[in-house]
Each structure stands twice: as C-alpha cells, then as structure tokens.
Amino acid sequence: MSLVLLSALSTLNYRNLAPGTLEFPEGVTGIYGENGAGKTNLLEAAYLALTGQTDVSRLEQLVQLGEKEAYVRADLQQGGSLSIQEVGLGRGRRQMKVDGIRSRTGDLPRGSAVWIRPEDSELVFGSPSGRRTYLDSLLSRLSARYGQQLSRYERTVSQRNAALRAGENWAMHVWDEALVKLGTDIMLFRRRALSRLDELAREANTALGSRKSLVLTLSESTAPETYAADLAGRRAEELARGSTVTGPHRDDLLLTLGDFPASDFASRGEGRTVALALRRAELELLAEKFGEKPVLLVDDFTAELDPNRRQYLLDLAASVPQAIVTGTEHAPGAALTLRASAGRFTQIEPQEVQA
Ligand SMILES: Nc1ncnc2c1ncn2[C@@H]1O[C@H](COP(=O)(O)OP(=O)(O)OP(=O)(O)O)[C@@H](O)[C@H]1O
C-alpha cells in the first residue's frame, strides 16, 4: 500500500459540526478551541471516513439532533491518485461507497488511521472486552482473514448459545467441532501477533519515560491442544447457563506493569502511559504491515498534564506523514492551525498563532 493522506474531509449533519469541507496539508494540523467546540467530533468523523469504523453502537447518536441522516466523506491522496470514501448514516444503518461504488469496511485501506484519545485509559482500567476489542480490531486490520474468522467464530458462538438455551445437547458435537476449528485459528493468530505487539509496546513504554517495564500476555480461557476436552468438560455448566464459557471470546490481554496487573495497580498516569504505548504499538504494527505510517488523529493532547507525555504526543505527530492534533491550546509547530468554535473551523495565520 502506498501512503494515504487525507486531503479533505466533508461532513453533513454530523453531530454538532457545521456542514462543509476542510482541507488538510501534509504534516501536522493543529485544532484548538474551547470544550464542546466539536474537536473530538471532527476526529471521530475523520476516523469514520478513513476506516469506515466507529465504536458508537447506536449510529443515530452520530446524526445531528433533529436530522435523520448524516454523511461524511474523505478525499484521499494515495500514491498519486485520488480516491473518495463516503459513509452515509441513518437509524441503525451505515452505507459506504469507495469512488462511487457500494463497499464494505473490508474494502477500505486497512492501515490508514490510528486514533489516540484520553478515553484510551479505559483500555487499561476497563473490562477485558475493551482490551479484546483493541486486539481484535488491530488484528482484523493486519489480516483480512483474521477478521473473517472472527466474525464466523462470533456467529458460531451465538448460534451455539441458542442451541444451549434450547437444551439441544444432541447437536453440541457439531457446534463444538466448528467452534474448535475457528477458535483455534484465532488463538494461534493472536499468539503470533502478540510477540511483536509486546515488543513494540515495551519500547514505547520505555520511550515514554516509564520506570516500570510493561509486558503484554494473553490470558487464554483454553488452549488449542485442550479446547475440545475443555468444552466437553464444561458441557453441563454451559447447558445450565445457556452460554459458551470457553474460548477466545473469553480471553484477556493482560498488561503487566512492573510486577503487577496494570488494571488493578497502576496509577491513573501510569495507566495513561500504558494506553499510549498500546496505541504507539498499533501505529508501528500497521506501518510495518502496510509499509506506510497511518494518518494519526490525536484527541486533546492538552489533557496530558504530564509534560513528558504531551511532548511525546507532539513528537509522534511530527514523525508521521500526516497528523491532526486537537487541544484547548494550539499545537506548536503545526503546518496548519484551525480554531474550533461551535462546530466551525477557521484557519489561523501563523503570526496570529505566535501572538
Ligand atoms: N448528535 C449530536 N447532535 C448535535 N450535537 C451533538 C451531537 N452529539 C454531540 N453533540 C455535541 O457536540 C458538542 C461538541 O463535542 P466534542 O466532544 O466534539 O467537543 P470538544 O471540542 O472535543 O470538547 P472537549 O475539549 O471538551 O473535549 C458537544 O457539546 C455535544 O453536546
């Protein structure tokens, strides 16, 4: 894949953003403005247009209050040619087009964006499902096959759960066979990817000035060698509960800082550093896979009270071909500075930024 640059972003009826198009240069675009101005909304729209993905479960939340549909469009410069990605949003529905042709998320460039935001601390302090989502979303971008196997696995788990609830003990061997095959693929892929992810996250954690070492490990609910036996051994429990309790959908990505699990023992600041290290590792893995660094979206670098992490974020933004960095203050050294106010973005001349 060649370098992907976001040359323009257009939105219509997207949250509080005024309709219009913003053009972005190479290098860093800094966006500053007061709380509630629409800075996060803009990055969210950019991430959606670049990747087709959002972590908002109710899509209507993205549509401006009082409107029925919203639209975002990314004009991408890729290896000298222009490509246009459009996402239309309605009640519970998302439609995507690439260069005018109906498409699915899998058709979009998979390594095109990484989004770093203050809420990333939840990766450390939140539930295992958030960490699984981080891992699965990253691995699905690294390998389309992983994404396909994961959707098949998730479908199989929900069908098997329905059979368990219906007490269909006689059908279980069929479901188990399918589950073990798909689940084993997922476990093996996760194991392979984790060693490099662990190395990259460790390096980033050290570069962030952390004195404690970071180690990433998988906590697996079963192993490929024992999967079938583990399922059989918990059959009675699963029938009683009506749900599948063994398999990679129950795994966790353990983050050990120093000698202890970061989720239970890290301070808020240490947790934030670990979360940043995970995002940095994501960026590096995507760059290794696709040969180019993704567009980096940094939400609220000013939320970092620690000067070390602030500087790290600014340096990271300056090191990639294109970054958009928001904050309540302007980002120093930006190629373009925009001021956000009530969902509108106006360009600020360099001399005004200095002032
Ligand atoms: N669907 C929607 N329709 C209209 N407005 C919305 C919608 N969803 C969110 N908003 C509003 O968008 C505003 C801007 O939110 P956003 O999170 O982008 O601000 P921000 O500039 O990032 O602020 P902060 O600096 O506090 O993070 C909020 O006031 C919010 O109420």
pLDDT in tens, 248-299: 999 999 999 999 999 999 999 999 999 999 999 999 999 999 999 999 999 9
What pLDDT is stored for residue 28 in this prediction? 97
Same domain, 286 and 304: no
Q: Which residue has the tokens 């087709």?
A: 52
Which residues are near ligand 1 (CB < 6 Å)? 15-16, 33, 35-41, 61, 63-65, 300, 328, 340
Q: How far lies 290's CA from each of 35, 143, 186, 315, in Å?
A: 35, 11, 21, 22
Same domain, 127 and 215: yes
Same domain, 270 and 312: no
SS (H, E, C) 121-187: HHHHHCCHHHHHHHHHHHHHHHCHHHHHHHHHHHHHHHHHHHHHHCCCHHHHHHHHHHHHHHHHHHH
pTM of this structure: 0.94
**Considering the chain, what percentage of its residues have pLDDT values greater than 90?**
84
Phi-psi region of 257 (alpha: psi -120 to 50; beta: other; left: phi over 0): beta
pLDDT in tens, 63-108: 999 999 999 999 999 888 999 999 999 887 899 999 999 998 878 8
Q: How far is the CA of 37 from the centre of ligand 1 (A)?
A: 6
At residue 348, the 3 state secondary structure works out as strand
CATH number at residue 299: 3.40.50.300
CB 314 within 8 A of CB 331: yes
Same domain, 133 and 276: yes
Q: Residue positions in the annotated binding site?
A: 33-40
The structural domain count of the chain equals: 2
Of 79-83, 214-218, 303-307, minimum mean pLDDT range: 303-307
User: What distance in Å separates the CA atoms of residue 302 and residue 310, rounded to the nearest whole number?
Assistant: 7
At residue 271, the 3 state secondary structure works out as helix
Neighbours of 57 (CB within 10 A): 7
State whether the Cα torsion 102-105-109-115 is positive or negative.
positive
Tokens of 339: 């001021």
Same domain, 123 and 272: yes
Q: What is the dihedral of CA 349, 45, 131, 325, to 10 degrees?
A: 0
Same domain, 52 and 39: yes
DSSP strand pairing (27-33 vs 336-341)? parallel
At residue 170, φ and ψ (nearest 5 deg) are -65, -25
Last residue of a domain, one of 269, 293, 317: 293
Q: How far lies 101's CA from each of 48, 96, 104, 108, 198, in Å?
A: 17, 8, 10, 12, 38
Q: Residue positions in the annotated binding site for ATP?
A: 33-40
What pLDDT is stored for residue 3 in this prediction? 80
The pLDDT confidence band at residue 2, using thresholds 50, 70 and 90, is low
Length of the chain: 355
Pocket probe for ligand 1: among 12, 40, 115, 341, the residue whose CB has the most ligand atoms within 8 Å is 40
Same domain, 313 and 287: no
CB 264 within 8 A of CB 256: no
- In one-letter notation, the amino acid at residue 240 is A
The residue range of the domain holding 149 is 119-293
Q: How far is the CA of 31 from the centre of ligand 1 (A)?
A: 15
